[in-house]
Structure 1
Amino acid sequence: GAKYKGRLLGTMGDCAVFSFQESKNMMTGEGGMLITNDPELAEQSRMVRNHGETVIAGEARKYLAQTIGWNYRMTEIEAAIGLVQLKKLDGLNDHRRMLARYLLDRLPSVPGLRYPVEPSQAHHVYHVFGMTYDEKRVGIPRSRFIQALVAEGIPAGSGYPRPLYHNPLFQERMAYGKQGCPFTCHLYQGTVSYAKGICPVAEDLCAQSALWTFVVRPPATTADMDDIIHAFEKVVESIPELKEQSHETTI
């Protein structure tokens, strides 16, 4: 997976959580995985996954709930798929890196459009091929640029529409029960704010500057990357025309 200074990113904290939903670098359809080198945290996680129960290999189930837990168990079929996918993961990520490098070496230079950058001590695995978009410098709205790419047959989009804290869950303090939990928890004496503007970079990415294309991944080939390159070249050449169309629409 992704690395920084030679260390896998998922090993840099107390635990790491991975999603295996169908759009991820490794997929099982649904499900995920938590990894940790802390035995106590591992045991607590297993109980949360399994109705709050401790399961001991070779012993009968005792139906003793020892903490709040849910049914987050992965199915056997998903787990079997995951075991095989895990063996393929390095090769799949190498393929993503190859496709991304192919694009980066050939995509046209566009003032206001910034392609992914891989610092010297980093190892990128390109979950998506993410770019940043400056509407003022490019000359047309991000939405218009994306529409033009999609019209050329290239799956592209703007990513997530809003930061997490802009969701009604946080903005309206949708709580458990009628007492406002966890937003009114007495254990925290500070003031929690989810006001718009607290993460300006994230808000800008969601609102106007993030641009993704989704097909820089297996089983795509360099021929598919050539299609992306040609589409970008065509859209870039059409910017004056697209700018005029946008101006007419605004008027």
Structure 2
Amino acid sequence: MRNFSRAGTHVSAILAIDTASPAFAIALALEGSPEEKPRVIESVSDFTHTSLLAAVEEYLRGVHLDAVIVVRGPGSYSGLRAGIATAQGLALAQGSLLVGISTLEAVAVACSDDVVPPLTFTAIHPAGRGDFAAQDFLGRVPQGPMRISTPEELSGGSLAGEEAGDLGAQEVSPRERVVAALASYRRGSLEPASELTPIYIREPNVTTPRRPFGPAGAQGHLPAR
């Protein structure tokens, strides 16, 4: 395994990927290097798998990863699948540790680091149809399972997360979440996994293709042979 070193100091490279939102974010931390803060890219346009791969390739030129962290959801169905597939591919190709964190856990870490005593609040993330994925936290510690909540059900509570600003609460961006994912790994709060699956608060919509029309326009009838 190749590792970087400067003046005899081991440098551990750690990559975090967050594709739970329309805009993705990636962060690269070089542990043990003079560069203390992670380098972060946050896209400003709608997510595509191609743009994610291009950003990862640019970041990882000449770098061997010790660990890959990926946000597992809730979030965008296609984004989560692409992010997890990218993380698994990198971990397999480079022999790196593969680690997952939920979107709401990343929100909690982003809001709770250096806050003493820990605060009770609800981490949220858009779940479609005007609803939110929600989970209560005491600092970084979950206080119950994830749930789907309406804006009305969340009104008046202490909230943080994506689109929380629209509810008069604390907005948390993909950039902040991906840096929080790195911080959680550094703290030893995340366990490696052999494989990861997306966390869906709702099951993806599956549509059945319509059968072809026959020559007379009757659905389901194919031309006779």
Whose radius of gyration is greater, 1 or 2?
1
Q: Is the helix fraction higher in 1 or 2? A: 1
Q: Is the strand fraction higher in 1 or 2? A: 2
For normalisation by structure 2, the TM-score amounts to 0.25
